[in-house]
Amino acid sequence: MNFMENVLNIIFPPVCGFCNEINKNFLCDKCKRKFDEIKISNIEDYNDIPVYFNEHYYLLKYENEVRDFIIKYKFQEISYLYKSFAKIIVNDEIFNNQFINKYDCIISVPIHNKRFKTRGYNQSKLIAKEVAKLCKKDFYDNVLIKSKNIVAQSTLDKLGRIGNIKNAFSNGKNSSFIKNKKVALFDDIFTTGATSNECAKILKQLQASNIGIFTLAKD
Interface contacts to Zn ion, rule CB under 5 A: 16, 18-19, 28, 31
Nearer to Zn ion, 76 or 97 (CB): 76
CA distance 25 to 103: 25
Asked whether the beta carbons of 99 and 214 are under 8 A apart, the reply is yes
CB of 13 to Zn ion, least distance (A): 14
Nearer to Zn ion, 88 or 144 (CB): 88
Nearer to Zn ion, 80 or 139 (CB): 80
Q: Where are the alpha helices (DSSP H) in the chain?
A: 3-11, 29-38, 64-75, 81-90, 93-94, 113-119, 123-135, 158-165, 194-205
CB of 21 to Zn ion, least distance (A): 5
Nearest to 150 by CA among 202, 109, 97: 109
CB of 52 to Zn ion, least distance (A): 37
Nearer to Zn ion, 20 or 42 (CB): 20
CB of 127 to Zn ion, least distance (A): 17
